Structure 1
Amino acid sequence: MELKDIWQNHKSKIIVGAIIILALYFVYNFITNAALYGIRGEFANSYPAQDGFDSGLNYGAALGLGVQEESAVSKIARTILPPEPQTPASTDTIDPNDRKIVKNGSLSLVVNKIDEAVMAISDFANNAGGFVQNVSVREVNDNVKSGTITVKVPADQLETVFDQAKSIAVKVAREDINTQDVTEQYIDLDAQVRNLKREEESYLKILEQAKTIEEILNVSQRLSYVRGQIERIEGQLNYLSRQIEMSTLTISLTSEADVQIFGVVWSPLAEIKRAIRNMFSSLVSYANALIALVFALPVLILWLITWGIGLWIVVKIFLALKKKFYKSKTSTKVPPRTPPAI
């Protein structure tokens, strides 16, 4: 069977099959990309220039003073410039004992009784100079409970409370202590606050020399902005200091199931919880991919139409060339000789 006969007999099937393959290819690419891409956000530490203030801190223009008229405020503004911003010191030269470290821990314990474990851990935290931040206990089945307790303890007492909590467990399912060096971030925030306070002092001196309402309003506006920046960064600095001073210990508690097989303790509740968590995670991933696919259907349809038209054009060109080639080949054939009549 020649190629032409195969195409004529199965033309519709070939086109439909090609379109289906292209559709599956685009759907697979779309779902894969939708799972990989996320939304990223960046937070800028610098603040934008406001109306009336250029990036070069031109105080005369900032106060609304023209070139022809220079008031006393513009004269003193030229002599009271904000100090040069201080560059944070390199963290490489800092003594290891002076570094700013955030230390947190987490435990997953199997205990005999949840209520007694919660009380014991609370006592451990209070005796170490900390406190209980959050407690959550729920009953899963008859006489089977699970819960979570979060405590805040001084950073130098974290290991002590950590070991005490482990000592009351029947089984330690998981334990983690993680540290994060935030020295560079702390120094940077502290330098920003000091630079902004120097700028605030400069504006206060300029404000003392302001005479017109326009000058006072312009300087006050800038002064208010700088003070807002100081409050914002000081808030970040205070939060970071609290994170450094007090460590967070999160403990997940599961009551021990009374099931033993050949002397081996089995915790089916923990396994069931893990399986349920994995199931919901898979369902969420499936739902996200399905939502992305539904909203991308118009684009996918347009792509299918585009590729279908392109495929149709290619097929038409191929058939035209094949037909032309076939005709030219048959026209060049020499007709057979007729035998002479006897």
Structure 2
Amino acid sequence: MTTMGAGMDGRRERRRGGAILAAGTLVAALALAGCSAGDSGSADSAGTAAEAPRGALDKGSGAEAAGTAGAGAPDLRVDQRAIIYTGSMRVQVTDVDAAAREVSALVTRAGGFVGGDQRRSAEADAVAELQLRVPAARFSGVVEEVAKLGRQQSREINTQDVTEETVDLEARIITQRARVDSARRLLARANSIADLVSLENELGRREADLASLEAKKRRLADLTALSTITVALAGPAAKTSEEKNETGFLVGLKGGWKAFATSMTVLLTVLGALLPWLVAVGVPLAVVLLVLRRRRRSPAQTAEISAPQPVPAARSAP
């Protein structure tokens, strides 16, 4: 019994020692895991904290690069570009004056105006040349409407992209304004007359350059905002430029006859203008000359009559 009790006590002690050992091992393992987790979290936090500025910098650099690329890349949208539209066309119409009035009304409805109006009045070969200024957005529509007024003989449309020139002018104007402001600040701090005169001259030159750049900008803005269309309205008998350049015997004969008729017309016009003067001056002058001629003849005839006639000699008798 004593031996069995001792054996059971030994097994209990071994079990208790194993349990204690297992508990200690578990505690040590948990402690090591906690330290590892803490170190790993710290390292991760440190790494995150270290990488955050780098990421932000990379992000900022990317945004700046994207902004630079966006600023330097051209805008390919047509509605965002500065384009100058110009056109010229010739339309043959029945009534030139009525067609000219219709064109003026058409331009007014489109939001533009007539910039020039030159007409050569005649019956069948009348010609009217109108310079139209219309908004760029209505350019094509106005051209098509004008072409419907009669028989279109010619059309020429031109475009000029001035986007880069406009952007360059904007940058130069900004720079020039900064130079003008700098010169004004220096002028306000001038202490001597020589500096004052020199700075005034420099300020005047910079202001003149700025005014020139702004004038160019306004000119470009006007050309891009309002397109120009030159319209020639011709009567039924009006000749085109191609017909005017014809050559040949008949063409030369026709031209010579026209020149002869024109010369005769001019000669008759001059003669008609001089005829009243010839009548008013020539008739009295002719009368005076006739009277003087008769007076010169009268003394001569009197002398001949008064002169003694010679007596014929008497003949002797045979």
Q: Structure 1 length normalisation: TM-score?
A: 0.49
Distance 2:153 2:231 in 1: 11
Aligned to 1:154: 135
Deviation (angstroms), 1:274: 4.5
Task: Decide whether the 8 Å contact of 2:136 with 2:227 is kept in 1.
Answer: yes
Q: Which amino acid aligns with 1:99?
A: R
Matched AA of 1:143? A
Matched with 1:212 is: 192
Secondary structure of the 1:249 match is strand
The correspondence for 1:244, drawn from 224, 235, 242, is: 224
Q: CA deviation at 1:153?
A: 0.7
Give CA-to-partner distance per residue, 1:259-314, whole Å, 9 cap, x none: xxxxxxxx7566543449xx9xxxxxxxxxxxxxxxxxxxxxxxxxxxxxxxxxxx
1:166 aligns with 2:147: yes
Which of 191, 195, 211 is residue 231 of structure 1 equivalent to? 211
**Does the Cα contact within 8 Å between 2:93 and 2:99 map onto a contact in 1?**
yes
CA contact (8 A) 1:91 1:183 kept: no
Cα distance, 1:97 vs structure 2: 2.6
* Aligned counterpart for 1:134 among listed residues 116, 119, 123: 116
Whole-angstrom distance in 2 between the partners of 1:94 and 1:208: 46
CA-atom RMSD in angstroms: 2.2
Unmatched runs of 5 consecutive residues or more in structure 1: 1-88, 258-266, 280-342
Q: Does 1:120 pair with 2:91?
A: no
Corresponding position of 2:233: 253
Task: Give the Å deviation of 1:235.
Answer: 0.5
Do 1:193 and 1:234's aligned partners in 2 also have CA atoms closer than 8 Å? Answer: yes
Structure 2: gaps of 5 or more residues: 1-70, 248-254, 256-318
- Give the aligned partner of residue 158 of structure 2: 178
Q: Which has the larger radius of gyration?
A: 2
Partner of 2:290: none
1:128 partner amino acid: A
Amino acid at match of 1:118: A
CA shift digits 1:170-215 (9 cap, x unpaired): x211112211100011111111111111011111121121111111
Count of aligned positions: 178
- Which letter maps to 1:220? E
Alignment of 1:276-291 (within 5 A): none
Q: Which has the higher helix share?
A: 2
Tell me by how many angstroms 1:252 deviates.
Answer: 1.1
Which residue of 244, 252, 255 maps to 1:273?
244
For 2:134 and 2:105, the matched residues in 1 are separated by: 12
1:195 corresponds in structure 2 to 175
- How far residue 92 of structure 1 moved from its aligned partner, in angstroms, is 2.6
1:99 aligns to what? 81
Contact in 1 for aligned 2:124/2:236 (Cα 8 Å): no
SS at match of 2:74: helix
Partner amino acid, structure 1, of 2:111: G
